[in-house]
A and B are shown apart, each in its own frame.
Chain A
Amino acid sequence: MSFVPGQPMCVVAQQIEIKKLRQGDHLILGFSIGGGIDQDPGQNPFSEDKTDKGIYVTRITPGGPAEAANLMMGDKILQVNGWDMTMVPHDKARKRLTNKKEDVVRLLVTRKTLEEAVKHSMGYPNQCH
């Protein structure tokens, strides 16, 4: 999943749709994010490439909407409702996810196991290469 900024990226991604849960005054999704272009990429335990400044899912509240939608810890979020999340500051990412006007977020996520699963099931090498 290493990528060079500016070059097209080729990953296997999954669409996950999460409905926000109302908890008092807030709409929550039930997971935590880490990463961003203003953060230190070396501290990210989930990324393969330690220079990757993307947004990663660092924790999933058990029983929350994210868990129900099969979001996994360590997923890299590529898009939220069409907005790009690979090159955003941490705060912007947070804002995109916690928009009060939206009830549902459609995430495009990727993880390592997706690629392997595709390889195994299809039986041919990844077409990106």
Chain B
Amino acid sequence: MDNESQYSGYSYKSSHSRSSRKHRDRRHRSKSRDSSSRADKSVTIQTPGEPLLDAESTRGEERDDNWGETTTVVTGTSEHSISNEDLTRVSKELEETTPLQCKRFVGPALGGCLSFFALVTPLAFLILPQVLWRDALEPCGTPCEGLYVSLAFKLLVLLISSWALFLRPPRATLPRFFVFRCLLMVLVFLFVASYWLFYGVRVLEPRERDYRGIVEYAASLVDALLFIQYLALVLLEVRHLQPAFCLKVVRSTDGVSKFYSVGHLSIQRAAVWVLDRYYSDFPVYNPALLNLPKSILSKKMTGFKVYSLDENTTNNSTGQSRAMIAAAARRRDNSHNEFYYEEAEMDRRVRKRKARLVVAVEEAFTHIKRLHEDEVASSPKHPREVMDPREAAQAIFAPMARAMQKYLRTTRQQAFHSMESILTHLQFCITHNMTPKAFLERYLSPGPTMQYQQQNGRGRQWTLVSEEPVTSALRQGLIFSLRRLDFSLVVTVTPLPFLRLGEEFIDPKSHKFVMRLQSETSV
């Protein structure tokens, strides 16, 4: 059962139909629209999207990535290559009703076209004269062939490095333009356009006959493209590697915090970076563990009941309320005591259940053993049924089921682990010869959020809330937050300190020691 109110982040592969999900999405869409009408800028940043909040309806099970309501930006690959995914995405236009959605494909499509264009241009430069005025061309022997070879290899290198660097499925859609990427695309476009311009005016028009010059010209274009790729590598991949800032990420609901070191990034890129690490570093958000038990808090609520029998209550009402507040404040002093005992009691209960669980699991695991190939299968008197892992898991699950369920209830984890998932995990552990302790590791401590994600290719929707424009660079004192439905991550930026490293040489022979003196002399 998919309870979005509690577990909004985790998409259970429910058997909901498309229509009901659409309906749910529409409800959520109105909710998210309200929340986005705030004073500070609130733009959507999405990791490849999970449609709990989205306006779109479900897609097929393809591994696609670009969801989002307000993305205006380039997501896909770079200016030098095309990805098949981009192309298929463009071609498979789904039921996007709002016209804003078309903008999303403009970026990757543009990038793909530009890179294709850039790669084909040198070849076009070479081929066009041959096609158009072959007879008039001066013959060009060995030097041209040398240039052909170098051109071919450079193009090959360009292709391979584009594939290696840029042909990766995008992991996030950013709310605003990725400045560096746009810059590079513009640069490539200008380069290629100016080369074509020059080519058209100086070569095609007058039907230039010096073929060697044309080949050299094409080679210079390929060189320029290689340098632009170097620039892209530095700007997109290398510049942010050297750490410059320390980000403190705090989850707003339970205060779990982590510190990370990042380099020079813009706010939106830093947000994506943080979210990458969030899924594997932060323990999963369990809303059931948040509040103090009602029994402690509610005691404060029963204060004094003050009845005023007087006609004019204005004079002494303030006095009375002050007395009430003071009395209530004095009474409140005991709740910390109760909290302490309640916590101790809770700990004790959890430990007791855990002990029972561990014993039950250990016992259960002793019931089966792996059958080796060379063992005699069975003797006629004691037939042994040979089981596959699934059946073995089911067989030993029964004795431990109750203890497991009670333990999960006590630690409020029962929503994260269904019986099916426990059976699957048990089967996995049996197959890999794990001990009971290894099996239990998943349940005894809350794992990182990633452990509870379903692999469905849909992403998660996060909203980046920031007072500064999200393409501005990180600097000291910046605070932005990443919001989901029911919790948010607040990120504070501090620069890493400048280190002044000095040097001190210690002679190895200088390590000498004496005994401590405590003499007493008589005078």
Contacts and interface: CB of A to CB of B under 8 A. Distances in A.
22 contacts: A28-B522, A31-B522, A31-B523, A32-B520, A32-B522, A33-B520, A33-B521, A33-B523, A34-B519, A36-B517, A38-B517, A39-B516, A40-B516, A40-B517, A43-B516, A58-B520, A59-B522, A61-B522, A90-B517, A90-B521, A94-B523, A97-B523
A29 interface: yes
Contact of A28 (B516, B518, B519, B523): B523
A98 interface: yes
Q: Which of B518, B521, B523 counts the most A-chain CB atoms under 10 A from its CB?
A: B523
Interface in A91-115: 94, 97-98
A39 B523 contact: no
Interface string A15-37: 00000000000001101111010
A90 B516 CA distance: 13
Given A32-B523, A34-B520, 20 more contacts: A28-B522, A28-B523, A31-B522, A32-B522, A33-B520, A33-B521, A33-B523, A34-B518, A39-B517, A39-B518, A40-B516, A40-B517, A40-B518, A43-B516, A43-B518, A59-B520, A90-B517, A90-B519, A90-B521, A97-B523
> Which size class do B's interface residues fall under?
under 10
A16 to B, nearest CB: 14
B523 to A, nearest CB: 4
Nearest to B517: A39
Majority SS of interface residues in chain A? mixed
B516 to A, nearest CB: 4
Contacts of B521: 32-33, 90, 94
Nearest to B522: A32
Nearest to B520: A34
Contacts of A29: 523
Contacts of A98: 523
A20 to B, nearest CB: 9
Interface of B: 516-523
A50 B516 CA distance: 15
A38 B516 CA distance: 9
Interface in A63-87: none
- The 5 A-B pairs at the shortest CB distance, nearest first, are namely A40-B516, A32-B522, A97-B523, A34-B520, A43-B518
B522 to A, nearest CB: 4
Nearest to A96: B523
Contacts of B522: 28, 31-33, 59, 61
A105 B149 CA distance: 105
A75 to B, nearest CB: 13
Contacts of B523: 28-29, 31-33, 94, 97-98
Contacts of A61: 522
Contacts of B516: 39-40, 43
Contacts of B517: 36, 38-40, 90
A23 B100 CA distance: 112
A61 B523 CA distance: 10
A24 B518 CA distance: 28
Interface in A40-57: 40, 43
Nearest to A28: B523
Nearest to A89: B517
A42 to B, nearest CB: 8
A29 B517 CA distance: 23
B499 to A, nearest CB: 34
Contacts of A39: 516-519
A128 B204 CA distance: 104
Contacts of A59: 520, 522
